[in-house]
Chains A and B, each alone.
Chain A
Amino acid sequence: MKRFVNLGLLMSLLLVFLAACGSNQPAEGGDGKAKHAVVFKNTGNPYGEKEMEGFKNAIEDLGGEAILRAPDDPSVEDQVKIIEELISQQVDSIAVVANDYDGLEPALKKAMNKGIKVLSLDSAVNGDSRMVHVNQADPEAIGRTQIEAVSEMIDGKGQIAILSATSQASNQNLWIEWMKKELEKPEYKDIELVKVAYGDDLRDKSVSETEALLQSYPDLKAIVAPTTVGIAAAAKVITDKGLIGDVVVTGLGLPSEMAAYIENGATPWMYLWNPLDVGYLAGHASHSLVEGDITGEAGDKFKAGELGEYEIIEGEDGTEILLGDPFRFDKENIEEWKEIY
C-alpha cells in the first residue's frame, strides 16, 4: 500500500515537472541563429514587458533568437543567477536592466570574458561591466522638463513636493538632482520645494506618503513623482480627496495606468518615453555588437531599424546611446496611447 502511494506520488511529481516544462518549448540550440538575451528587473511589470517586447521585435526582425528573462522579485542576487544560466547557454549577447549599479559587475565581467557582448538599458550598470548603455532619455532633460511642466501648471508660484521611489538604480536620484538645479533658475524663485518623500515604489506606502504630504503642507500646489507607481498613487489620492484643481500631480507615468487621471484632470499632463522603443533600440545595439559593426566606443554609428541612425556618445561613466527626449502625454493623445502600453 505504502509503496503504491509513494510510487503514485512520485509519478505525479514527475508529471508535474514534465507538464511545467512541456508548456515551454525548449530552446532548440545550434540552429545557427544568434541568441540575444535581455534581463529585466522583475516579472509582472508591464513597463518591463513592453521593453522586452520591443527587444524581441528588433531581434526577430534581424533574424536572431530572443531570450526574455526576469526574476520574480527585483533582487540583484536573482539577476546574477540568471546571468550565470545565460552564460551556460552560450548566448551571444546579454542586455540587462539592472537592479543595482555595481552589483552585477562580477557576473557581467565573467560573461564578457567568455566573449559575450554585454550592454545595459534603461537602468544602467557601471561603466566597467558593460560595453554600452542604452539611455531612455537624457537625465538632464527629464529633470528640467518636469520642473518646467510643474511651473507652467501652477503659474510659477507655490509649494511643491517630490514623491520618489527609493531606487538605488540611481536614475531617480539623478533626475531629482537635475530638478533641483533647474529650480535654482530665477524664474522659479516663487516655487518652494518642501520635501522629497519616498514611497518605496509600493502602492500602500506611496499613498500614505502622499497623505502625509497633504497633511503637513496644506498649501501644497503640486506633487512631482518621477516614478510610475508613485504618480499613480498620488493621482489616486488627489482624485479620492476631491482635490483635483487644487493640487496637481505630474511626473513620469505609464499611459495605461494614468489614463483615468489625465482624463479627470488630476494630472494635466505627464511624461514618459516609449519602453517599446527603448527595448527596440537595445535589440539593434545587441545585434550590432555581436555582428562587430560597433564595439561600444564613442563615435561608433549604427542603424536601428525604423528608429533611424544612432551614434554612441561619451556618458558620465562609460559610453551610451541616447534614445531621445521624453514624450508628453496629455488629454489629446492619451486615448490612443493607453491601449498601447
Chain B
Amino acid sequence: MGDRLMEKQSILSVIAKHREAGLIGFIIILSIVFQLLNPKFLTIGNLANLITNTTILIILAVGMMLVLITRGIDLSIGSTLALSGMTSSLFVSAYPGLNPLLAILLGIMVGIICGIILGYLVSIIGILPIIASLGLMNVYRGLTFWSSGGGWVSAHQMPASFKGIATSSFLGVNTLILIAIAIFLFFYFFVNYTITGRQIYAVGSNPESAEITGINSKKILLLVYTIMGGLSGLAGVLWVSKFASAQGDTASGYELTVIAACILGGVSIAGGVGRITGVLLGAILLGILDNALPLIDVSPFWQMGIEGGIILFAVLFNVIVNRAVQQNELARRVV
C-alpha cells in the first residue's frame, strides 16, 4: 500500500514536471509569435510593464492555489480585495500623514478578517466553499459600496507616499515586483518545506486519512482561507495604490481570472495537486495574453474568446498528456 502510494506520488511529480516544461514551451512559442508580429513585445520597457501588471495576479494565485489544494474555492477574493483597498484608501485620505506600511497592514488586516469569516463558515460550520464564498462575495461587495457611501477615493485624495507603494522602486526594480517575489519565495518554502505546508496537501488529497494521521484538518482549512484573505487584502492595497483610485466595483469578477491562472498552472480542483511554480507560469501566461493581444492589434472583442479557448485547450492538453504518461508508466511496469 505504502509502496503504491509512493509510486503514485512519483508519477504525479513526473507529470507535474512535464506539465511545467510544456507550459514553458507554450509561453516561449507564444512569445516568439508575438515578437514576430510586433517587435516591441520583447523590449525591456514592455517586459517591465508586463511583469508589473501581473504581480497582483501572481500574489492572488498563490493563495488561491492553497485553497484549491484543499478541495475548496474562494469566489469572494475580488470583493475582499475591493473592501480592503477601499478601507485603506479611505483611511489614508483621512490621515494623509500615515506611514504607507501601516496602510498596507490595515489592508491585510481587513483581508484576514474577511478570510477568517469564510474559513470559519467552511471549516467549522461545514458549508460548501463555493456557496459560502458566493454569499460572502455579495456581502463584502455590498460593504465596500456602503463604506464609501457610493463614492470613490481619487488620486488627489491619496498622499504621494501611498501612491508611491506601487510606483516606487528599490535597486531599480519596481516595489510591486519585489513584493511578488518575496511572497512567491515565502510560499515556495512554506508549502514545500514546512510541516504545515505538507499538511495542506495531505488534507486535500485525502481528508479522511489526513484526519486519522492526526492532522487537524479544520485548523488547516481555517489557515488556508485566512492566508487567502490576507493576500487579497494586500493585493487590495497594491491595486488601489497602482491605479490611484478606489471604487465600489474594483476588481469585480477578478476571482475567475485568478482561478483560471491556477488551472492553467496545473492545480486540480479535485484537491491535493498543484505546484507553486506552475501557478507562477499560469499567471505569467495570462499576463502575456493581456499584454500582447493589444500590442498585435487583435480586436478587443476577440480577446475574451481567445483566452477562453486557450484555457480550455491547456486543460484538455494536460489531461491527454497525463493519460499518455500514465499509460507509459503502466506499460513499463508490466515489462
Q: Which residues of A contact B (CB under 8 A)?
A: 42-46, 49, 72-73, 166, 197-198, 200, 203-204, 207-209, 211-212, 215-216, 232-233, 236, 240, 254, 256-261, 263, 338
B155 is contacted by which of A42, A44, A257 (Cβ under 8 Å)?
A: A257
A257 is contacted by which of B145, B167, B245, B252 (Cβ under 8 Å)?
A: B245
Q: In the bound complex, do residue A203 and residue B243 qualify as a contact, i.e. CB atoms below 8 Å apart? A: yes
Q: In the bound complex, do residue A211 and residue B156 qualify as a contact, i.e. CB atoms below 8 Å apart? A: no
Decide: A212 near B295, CB < 8 A? Known: A49-B150, A207-B53. yes
A204 to B55, CA, bound (A): 12
Which residue among A43, A203, A259 has the maximum number of chain B CB atoms within 10 Å of its CB? A203
Chain B 226-244 near chain A by CB (<8 Å), digits 1 or 0? 0000000000000000011
Q: In the bound complex, do residue B290 and residue A208 qualify as a contact, i.e. CB atoms below 8 Å apart? A: yes
Q: In the bound complex, do residue B150 and residue A208 qualify as a contact, i.e. CB atoms below 8 Å apart? A: no
Q: In the bound complex, do residue B150 and residue A44 qualify as a contact, i.e. CB atoms below 8 Å apart? A: yes
| Shortest Cβ distance from residue A216 to the other chain B in the assembled complex, whole angstroms | 6
Chain B 242-254 near chain A by CB (<8 Å), digits 1 or 0? 0111011110100
Q: In the bound complex, do residue B247 and residue A240 qualify as a contact, i.e. CB atoms below 8 Å apart? A: no
| Shortest Cβ distance from residue B256 to the other chain A in the assembled complex, whole angstroms | 14
A215 is contacted by which of B43, B156, B245 (Cβ under 8 Å)?
A: B43
Q: In the bound complex, do residue B45 and residue A198 qualify as a contact, i.e. CB atoms below 8 Å apart? A: no
Q: In the bound complex, do residue A216 and residue B295 qualify as a contact, i.e. CB atoms below 8 Å apart? A: yes
A258 to B250, CA, bound (A): 18
Contacts of A203 in B (CB 8 A): 243, 245, 250
| Shortest Cβ distance from residue B242 to the other chain A in the assembled complex, whole angstroms | 8
A200 is contacted by which of B53, B249, B300 (Cβ under 8 Å)?
A: B300
Q: Is B148 located at the chain interface by the 8 A CB criterion?
A: yes
Q: In the bound complex, do residue A215 and residue B300 qualify as a contact, i.e. CB atoms below 8 Å apart? A: no
Q: Is B291 located at the chain interface by the 8 A CB criterion?
A: yes
Closest to B287 in A: A208
Q: In the bound complex, do residue B152 and residue A233 qualify as a contact, i.e. CB atoms below 8 Å apart? A: no
A73 to B144, CA, bound (A): 14
A44 to B245, CA, bound (A): 13
The interface size bin for chain B is: 20 to 34
Contacts of B157 in A (CB 8 A): 256
Decide: A72 near B300, CB < 8 A? Known: A44-B150, A44-B247. no
| Shortest Cβ distance from residue A337 to the other chain B in the assembled complex, whole angstroms | 11
Q: In the bound complex, do residue A254 and residue B154 qualify as a contact, i.e. CB atoms below 8 Å apart? A: yes
8 A Cβ contacts from B117-173 to A? 141-142, 145, 148, 150-152, 154-157, 167
User: Can you spell out 11 A-B residue pairs with CB atoms less than 8 angstroms apart?
Assistant: A44-B150, A207-B243, A208-B294, A212-B291, A215-B43, A215-B295, A216-B38, A236-B244, A256-B154, A257-B154, A260-B154
Q: In the bound complex, do residue A44 and residue B248 qualify as a contact, i.e. CB atoms below 8 Å apart? A: yes
Q: In the bound complex, do residue B155 and residue A72 qualify as a contact, i.e. CB atoms below 8 Å apart? A: no
Q: In the bound complex, do residue A240 and residue B167 qualify as a contact, i.e. CB atoms below 8 Å apart? A: yes
Q: In the bound complex, do residue B300 and residue A233 qualify as a contact, i.e. CB atoms below 8 Å apart? A: no
A203 to B85, CA, bound (A): 14
Q: In the bound complex, do residue A209 and residue B243 qualify as a contact, i.e. CB atoms below 8 Å apart? A: no
Q: In the bound complex, do residue A73 and residue B154 qualify as a contact, i.e. CB atoms below 8 Å apart? A: no
Q: In the bound complex, do residue B38 and residue A43 qualify as a contact, i.e. CB atoms below 8 Å apart? A: no
A261 is contacted by which of B53, B155, B295, B301 (Cβ under 8 Å)?
A: B155
Contacts of A261 in B (CB 8 A): 155
Q: Is B46 located at the chain interface by the 8 A CB criterion?
A: yes
Contacts of B151 in A (CB 8 A): 44, 46, 49
Q: In the bound complex, do residue B249 and residue A42 qualify as a contact, i.e. CB atoms below 8 Å apart? A: yes
Contacts of B250 in A (CB 8 A): 203
Contacts of A233 in B (CB 8 A): 243
Please provide the 9 A-B residue pairs with the shortest distance between their CB atoms, ordered closest to farther.
A44-B248, A257-B154, A212-B294, A260-B155, A259-B156, A260-B156, A203-B243, A198-B300, A215-B40
Closest to B174 in A: A240
Besides A207-B53, A257-B154, A260-B155, 18 other CB < 8 A contacts? A43-B150, A44-B148, A44-B248, A45-B150, A46-B152, A49-B150, A73-B252, A208-B290, A209-B294, A211-B53, A212-B291, A215-B43, A215-B49, A254-B154, A257-B152, A257-B245, A258-B155, A260-B244
